[in-house]
Amino acid sequence: MKLKEFFKSEKNWHQGSYCPDKSVRAKDLKNLSKNFDCLCLFGALLYCYRGEYNRRMEVWKLINEEVDRGMSGWNDDPKRTFQDVRDLVEKLDI
């Protein structure tokens, strides 16, 4: 699944942690048997490209070349909007 398919609406986007459930860790997002519907940009990257390490790293690089302050800092900026995230994933076709 591409990030642009995951981020269909604002209800799918989160800031400040991977997801609203702060107990979720990176390893949980890569677990093929778990489903999530609200994640930050980095969490969604881990989730959408789980099992696709090389592609995940390519997408990580594309995002970080496009944003300032790194992916997490960019996503968690209080001025960031869902539309900013949506525009980014559409622009990069990821």
pLDDT digits (tens, 9 = 90+) for 10-57: 999 999 999 999 999 999 998 888 999 999 999 999 999 999 999 999
Q: Tell me, what's the pLDDT at 32?
A: 85
The tokens for 20 are 């609203």
The tokens for 2 are 């591409």
Question: Domain range holding 48?
Answer: 3-92
Checking if the pLDDT of 66 tops 90, the result is: yes
Beta bridge partners of residue 39, listed in sequence order: 13
Q: Tell me, what's the pLDDT at 88?
A: 98
Q: What angle do CA 84, 37, 69 make, to 5 degrees?
A: 35
- AA identity, residue 74: W
Q: Tell me, what's the pLDDT at 33?
A: 86
d(CA 35, CA 89): 20
Checking if the pLDDT of 2 tops 90, the result is: yes
Name the domain count of the chain: 1
- Model pTM score: 0.94
Checking if the pLDDT of 92 tops 90, the result is: yes
